[in-house]
Amino acid sequence: MSFLENAFGFVPGKMQLKTELIAGATTFLTMSYVLAVNPAVLASTGMDKGALFTATAIASALATLLLAFMAKLPFAQAPSMGLNAFFAYTMCQAMGYSWQQSLAIMLVEGVVFLVITFFNIREMILNSIPETLRFAISAGIGMFIAFIGLKNAGIIVAKEGTFVGLGEFTPPCLLGIFAILLSGVLMARNIKGSLFWSIIITTIVGIPFGVTEVPDNWIPVSLPQDITPVFCKFDFSGLMNLKTLLVVFSLLIVNIFDTIGTLMGLAEKTGIVRPDGSIPHVKEAMMSDAIATTCGSFLGSSTITTYVESASGIAEGGKSGVTSFAVGLLFIISLFLSPIFLLIPSAATSGALVMVGVLMLDSIKEINLKDLSDSFPAFITMITMVLTYSIADGICLGILSYVIIKLFTGQYRQLNATLCVLSILFILNFMFG
C-alpha cells in the first residue's frame, strides 16, 4: 500500500480501497452525462460531434488524473457545463467568433490561468473568503446540484409565467422520481454504494419505459472517434481588441470562482479543511485545473473545472486520490465503451444529485444566523447560486453583499484587501463583461 499512500494520499487503516473505488465509480456515473451533453452543446458551433466525444473523454481523464497525482483529493474534473454554453451560445453565436477563434481565446485564458495559479493568486483569493461564505457556498452548491437533478429528470421545468414550475408526469419525470426515492431509501438504510446502485437500477428500470434507449444492433464496444477535426484548430486572427480582452476576463472570473467555490464546498464535505480554514493541496488542485484547461483547448474542449458531482463519490466514502484516479481510468475506458455510457439517462442520475444536495445542506448549521451581517450575504450566496444557475454568480453576489453590509455596519475590520479588490472587479465585470 506504500505506493497508494505516496501517490494518492491513501492511508491504510483509515481508508478502504474498495470504498475508494466504489466512490470513484459513483462520481463517474453521476457526471458521465458530460460525455453526451458536452459534445452536443459544442457541436452546435459546427464542430464534429464524434471528435468532441473523444476530446471530452481525454480532457476529463487527463484533468482528473493530474488532480489524483498532484492534489491527492477525491475530486473529478471535466469540461464545465456553464463555460461550454458560454463558448457555444455567447462567444460563437451572440458575439460572432468562429469556434476556431473561441478555442484560441480558451487557450489564452488557460495560459493566464496557469500564471495566476503559479504565483498563488488563486490560493490567496481562496484564503480570503470568510468562513460564513464558505459554509454558504457549500450549502448553495448542494441546493444547486439538487436543482440540476430535478431539472435533468424533467421534474422541474421552465414556465413562462413563473420561470420554473412542476413538469408533467412523463416517463423521464416518473423515472427521476423513482431514482430520488430509491436513493433516499438506500441512503437511509445505510446501504454501501447506495448512489451507485441507484443509478444502475434506475437505468435498467428505464428500459421498458423507453427512457433508457437501447439502439437496434447495439454493441457495447466501439473504437474511439477521430479527434483530428478539432485538435489544435486555433485561429488567432482578429482577437487583438478590447472585446476579446473582456471575454478573457469574464472567462477567468467564472472559471476561478466555479473552481474555488466547488473546491471549498467539496473540501467541507470531505472533512479535510484545517482549523485555520485552509485546504490541504489546494494549490496543486488549482494547478491541475489550470494545466488541464490549457491542454483541453489543444484537444478541442472548452474550459475544464472541478465538478460538483464529485460530492456523490465523497458521500460514498471517497477520501483520497484513489477515488479520482478511478474516475480518470473510467474516462479512458469510456473511449471504448461509449455505447454503454450513453445509455444512462439523465433521469437515472437525478437521485444521486438530489441526495448530495441533502447531504451538503448541513453546512447551514455552521452559519451564524443570529448575526444578520453574516446571514444576509450567506442567504444571497445560496439563493442566487440556484436562481442564476451559476456557482460563480452566487459567489460574486455573496461577496459583494458581504463587503457592502460589513462596510456600512461599521465592521470594516472584518474585510481584507482581496475582498475589496474582488468586489470592484465584480462590479466592473457585471457592468462591462
3-state secondary structure of 405: helix
Q: What is the DSSP letter of 364?
A: G
pLDDT of residue 406: 94
pLDDT of residue 380: 96
pLDDT of residue 263: 78
pLDDT of residue 126: 67
293 grid coordinates: 484547461
Residue 90 located in a structural domain: yes
Residue 304 located in a structural domain: yes
3-state secondary structure of 281: coil
Cβ atoms of 286 and 259 within 8 Å: the answer is yes
Residue 364 located in a structural domain: yes
Residue 217 located in a structural domain: no
* CA dihedral for 71, 307, 265, 200, sign (positive or negative): negative
Residue 191 located in a structural domain: yes
**Which structural domain, as residue segments, surrounds residue 85?**
2-212+222-432
DSSP states of 161-201 as a string?
Answer: TTEEEEPP--HHHHHHHHHHHHHHHHHHTT-TTHHHHHHHH
- Radius of gyration (Cα) for the chain, nearest Å? 21
327 grid coordinates: 474516475
Residue 101 located in a structural domain: yes
Mean pLDDT, 10 residues at a time, the chain of 433 residues: 74 83 89 82 86 92 92 88 77 85 90 84 75 86 86 90 91 95 91 81 92 84 87 87 77 74 77 73 82 88 84 84 93 87 82 85 88 95 88 85 94 88 82 69
Residue 204 located in a structural domain: yes
Domains in the chain, number:
1
